[in-house]
Amino acid sequence: MSQQPSTFPLLGGMDVSTSPLLMPPGRLMAAMNYEPVQEGYRRLDGIERYDGNSPPSSARFWTLPFRNGVMAPAVGQIVTGNMSHATGTIMALAHLDEGLWNNSSAAGHLALRDVAGSFTEGEYLYINGVLIGTVAGGEAQDYAPTVALILDYTALAQDARRNDVGRVPGSGPVRGVVIFDGVAYAFRDNADGTAGAMYRATLNGWQLVNPGRWIRFTAGLSEIADGDRIYGATSGASATAARVVRQSGNWGSTAAGYIVLTDLDGAFGAESLTANGHASATTAADTAITLPAGGRYDFTIHNFYGSQNREALYGVSGAGRAFEFHAGIYVPIETGMGAADKPLRVFEIANHLGLIYPGGSIQLSAPGEPMIFDAIVGAAEIGFGTDITDVVQSNESAVAIFGKQKIGTLSGRDAASFQLSELTEEAGSLAWTAQRLGRTVYIDARGLRDLAATNAYGNFRAGSLLSEMTSYFAAKAKAGVSPVFSYVVKSKSQYRVLYSDGTGLTVFMGRKAPEACLFTISPLSLTCCATGEFSDGEAILAGGAEGYVYRLDSGTSLDGAGVQAFVMPASNHLRSPMIEKRLHKTTIELDAGVQASVGVTVFFDYGADGQPISGSRDFTARGSTGKDFLVQAGGGLWDAATWDEFFWSAPLRGYVEAYTEGIGVNFTPIFACDAHPAEPSHTLQAYTFHWSARKLRR
């Protein structure tokens, strides 16, 4: 019988529960480091170090042709042109096209980074005053004679830049990271682990944010406002009152609170203060504001005051007081709980700042006053009855509160109307997994759930969003593997969760039913996460156990390592499970940049009875020999390569054509890559089997 093509879109995500015979062809029986997106399955994007300076993926290389080479330069040496005075750093051993060094006939090109200036044709090249050759043409940026060299040189340039990206200073893991007003901030313990510190990402790397000093005052006579200059009547010290917090009493006689100082000149003692030419208050000596060591940070961003440019960052760590950060000013928040004032989570509701404490205590500030927790002016306390694992903003006047075995909704506008409504005591959230992406989702021991479905079904399977992944979640629970954090990728309509074993789950929420795939970031160990906006778009940052901060979905490598990934779609019987068929070839439709490496293989009859895998090779064995592939894109034919590696070039889209001959009643394709660290991601969109029918298998 003549060949016939059958095409199958690659979508649907992983399914570890459905029988292979019943599974749609585009779903996956297994996968790693591909993610479901609108167009199909996309190879995992990169993860690269971040400190505010240029990222590793921005690094560039140059090739400089030379002739009359008399001495091979060493990696790391700086080469200089004798007339142009242009310079560049040697990245790799010189690439020779002809000739020899020992008779001054070597010719080829040098791979350079950090080039300054432009070299001149015919000028001499020197290293440390020693002649090494003559320039044979101008330098070319991001160009090399072959695709393989382009990738290698790109990776070397990125490695050099990566080594310049610094850790957040201090010791231990990064305990918190946040993006506020387009700038990244990170929190880490100091070198001896006795206190915490806050750092800001800059073009010069991580810079310490000095929290400054503060003073407490009582007997406030005339009001001191933010920005006033205050003076000590006895010490002669002066400072700007950057933030004035009145905790109790009234200006005129009984006002008491504290003042955060900037532009301090001298030292305040126990004395009277004057401001605006009037006696204002009585103060104690100024002291340094310190951050506690340890904990894990949680943040919210909100403008409680309504005026322009008053949006502020509010944070907690579970190890010390909450704080406000605005315009470079760090302000501790005291709720009056004394030594127990160590909130774990923070949120906003109806213009009240909410703080969550151990045991399920929820403290709400006065309306429009995030620094004041006095019931007389509208603050409130509500008990949840159990430890709280997560809190998610549902709308302006409602938040979802999660415990391990309880879920409730806090709603209202003020202390008189706040109400905690219990949704269920049959379900609860694992810590750090609740997120809102159009709808509120969370993870428990049984799987990914929707808050609305939980309200309707409780802790039953009917409320699960990924019933086909039930055994996956059960295995994680049985192994005692817990989530580290979760986050939302708005640009991809994805929810992601990372587990403590270095693996994670990506869930695409852009179709009627969610679709999931697995990923791994091992050996990286991440501890916390933040999302926000940079000038170049959506940004996802994660703190690491070794003190680095990483930008996720950035660059092409996993901190310098190439991405290894595969998908195994469902075993495909081509709608005739008992008819024996001959498979002739397999093609893949994909979307990629100018370089991509993909491998194709197929096995037959579920791999039973010792049936061989067509084109069988080790997925991780780069450069192995085996079955060749014809790669076609944009109407042109390109280099053939082995089953597990080929390079493809095309303007936008192309396809892989692999001759995967074999006979069986069903075929199971595997598409894999062992990507070069500099190789961009690609998206697998569909595959086609070219086959012919044979006979009924009895």
Q: Give a yes or no: residue 482 inside a domain.
A: no
Top mean-pLDDT range of 234-238, 573-577, 643-647 = 234-238
- Between 626 and 296, where is the model more confident? 296
- 593 lies in the same domain as 674: yes
Long-range contacts, 87-93 (Cβ 8 Å, 24+): 87/114, 87/115, 87/116, 87/117, 88/62, 88/64, 88/112, 88/113, 88/114, 88/115, 88/116, 88/139, 89/113, 89/114, 89/160, 91/61, 91/153, 91/156, 91/157, 91/160, 92/152, 92/153, 92/156
Q: Give a yes or no: residue 259 inside a domain.
A: yes
pLDDT at 134 over 90: yes
Cα pseudo-dihedral 562, 567, 568, 569, rounded to 10: -160
Confidence at 644, pLDDT banded by 50, 70, 90: very low
Q: How far apart are CA 355 and CA 559, in angstroms?
A: 36
- Between 698 and 81, where is the model more confident? 81
Q: Give a yes or no: residue 678 inside a domain.
A: yes
Could you tell me the two tokens for 382?
């509500």
Number of domains into which the chain is organized? 3
Instruction: Sheet with 183-189: list strands edge to edge.
Output: 171-180, 183-189, 196-202, 205-209
Q: How far apart are CA 76 and CA 280, in angstroms?
A: 64
Please report how many Cα atoms fall inside a 13 Å half-sphere around the Cα of residue 245, on the Cβ side. Answer: 24
**pTM of this prediction?**
0.91
Q: How far apart are CA 392 and CA 617, in angstroms?
A: 47
- 683 lies in the same domain as 588: yes
- 234 lies in the same domain as 273: yes
Tens digits of per-residue pLDDT, 381-417? 999 999 999 999 887 788 999 998 899 999 999 999 9
Confidence at 299, pLDDT banded by 50, 70, 90: very high
Q: Give a yes or no: residue 592 inside a domain.
A: yes
Closest CA to 224 of 163, 282, 173: 282
Segment 466-477 mean pLDDT? 92
| The predicted structure's pLDDT at residue 635 | 25
Q: How far apart are CA 266 and CA 312, in angstroms?
A: 29
- 259 near 268, Cβ under 8 Å? no
Q: Give a yes or no: residue 513 inside a domain.
A: no
Share of the chain above pLDDT 70, in %: 91
pLDDT at 606 over 90: no
- 569 lies in the same domain as 686: yes
| The predicted structure's pLDDT at residue 308 | 79
Confidence at 446, pLDDT banded by 50, 70, 90: confident
Q: How far apart are CA 232 and CA 586, in angstroms?
A: 83
Which residues lie across from 169 on neighbouring strands?
A: none
- Of 141, 175, 203, the position where a domain reaches its end is 141
Closest CA to 641 of 660, 658, 653, 661: 658
pLDDT at 194 over 90: yes
Closest CA to 540 of 486, 489, 491: 489
pLDDT at 456 over 70: no
Point out the least confidently predicted range of 206-220, 296-310, 482-496, 537-551.
296-310
- 403 near 388, Cβ under 8 Å? yes
Segment 453-482 mean pLDDT? 76
- 9 lies in the same domain as 91: no
Tens digits of per-residue pLDDT, 316-370? 999 999 999 999 999 999 999 999 999 999 999 999 999 999 999 999 999 999 9
- 89 lies in the same domain as 39: no
Cα pseudo-dihedral 571, 509, 500, 468, rounded to 10: -40
SS (H, E, C) 500-531: CCCEEEEEECCCCCCEEEEEECCCCCEEEEEE
pLDDT at 422 over 60: yes
SS (H, E, C) 369-389: ECCCCCHHHCCEEEECCCCEE
| The predicted structure's pLDDT at residue 607 | 67
Residues with Cβ < 8 Å from 457, sequence gap 6 or more?
463
Which domain CATH number covers 652? 2.60.120
Can you tell me whether residue 654 is helix, strand or coil?
A: strand
Q: How far apart are CA 586 and CA 636, in angstroms?
A: 19
| The predicted structure's pLDDT at residue 462 | 38
Which residues lie across from 141 on neighbouring strands?
A: 62
- 225 lies in the same domain as 267: yes
| The predicted structure's pLDDT at residue 455 | 55
Please report how many Cα atoms fall inside a 13 Å half-sphere around the Cα of residue 618, on the Cβ side. Answer: 5
Tens digits of per-residue pLDDT, 484-499? 999 999 999 999 999 9
Segment 202-222 mean pLDDT? 96
Please report how many Cα atoms fall inside a 13 Å half-sphere around the Cα of residue 275, on the Cβ side. Answer: 22
Give the CA angle between residues 458, 463, 465 to the nearest 5°. Answer: 150
Which residues lie across from 688 on neighbouring strands?
A: 7, 587
Could you tell me the two tokens for 564?
């290894």
Point out the least confidently predicted range of 277-281, 415-419, 463-467.
463-467
Can you tell me whether residue 611 is helix, strand or coil?
A: coil
- 688 lies in the same domain as 574: yes
**What would the DSSP string read from start to end of 138-199?**
--EET--SSHHHHHHHHHHHHHHHHHHSPPPSSEEEEEEEEEETTEEEEEEE-TTSSSEEEE
- Of 270, 288, 306, the position where a domain reaches its end is 288
Closest CA to 230 of 178, 188, 274: 274
Q: Give a yes or no: residue 362 inside a domain.
A: no
Q: Give a yes or no: residue 515 inside a domain.
A: no
Confidence at 612, pLDDT banded by 50, 70, 90: very low
- 97 lies in the same domain as 19: no
Can you tell me whether residue 430 is helix, strand or coil?
A: coil
Q: Which residue has the tokens 């004035």?
A: 244
Q: How far apart are CA 649 and CA 638, in angstroms?
A: 7
- Of 231, 255, 288, the position where a domain reaches its end is 288
| The predicted structure's pLDDT at residue 608 | 58
Q: How far apart are CA 330 and CA 315, in angstroms?
A: 10
pLDDT at 640 over 90: no
**How many helices (H) does the chain have, and how many strands (E)?**
3, 56
Q: How far apart are CA 38 and CA 522, in angstroms?
A: 26
| The predicted structure's pLDDT at residue 463 | 63
- 272 near 238, Cβ under 8 Å? no
Residue ranges making up the domain that contains 111 = 62-141
Q: Which residue has the tokens 């969003």?
A: 465
Which residues lie across from 180 on neighbouring strands?
A: 183
**Average pLDDT score over the chain:** 89
Segment 67-74 mean pLDDT? 97
- 36 lies in the same domain as 77: no
**What would the DSSP string read from start to end of 325-384?**
EETTEEEEE--S-GGG---SEEEEETTEEEEEEGGGEEEE-BTTBTT---GGGT-EEEE-
Closest CA to 557 of 530, 524, 585: 524
- 230 near 280, Cβ under 8 Å? yes
The residue type found at 487 is Y
**What burial class does residue 86 get, using C-beta atoms within 10 Å of its C-beta: 0-12 exposed, 13-18 middle, 19+ buried?**
buried
| The predicted structure's pLDDT at residue 423 | 85
Q: Give a yes or no: residue 395 inside a domain.
A: no
Confidence at 602, pLDDT banded by 50, 70, 90: confident
- 690 lies in the same domain as 569: yes
pLDDT at 662 over 80: yes
Segment 266-294 mean pLDDT? 95
- Which run of H or E residues covers position 471? helix 470-478
Tens digits of per-residue pLDDT, 247-277? 999 999 899 999 999 999 999 999 999 999 9
- Between 306 and 353, where is the model more confident? 353
Share of the chain above pLDDT 90, in %: 79
Task: Estimate to the nearest angstrom the gap between the alpha carbon of 544 and the chain centroid.
Answer: 11
Segment 574-599 mean pLDDT? 86
- Ramachandran angles phi, psi of 423, nearest 5°: -85, -45
- 8 lies in the same domain as 125: no
pLDDT at 32 over 50: yes
Closest CA to 681 of 204, 41, 3, 187: 41
| The predicted structure's pLDDT at residue 653 | 54
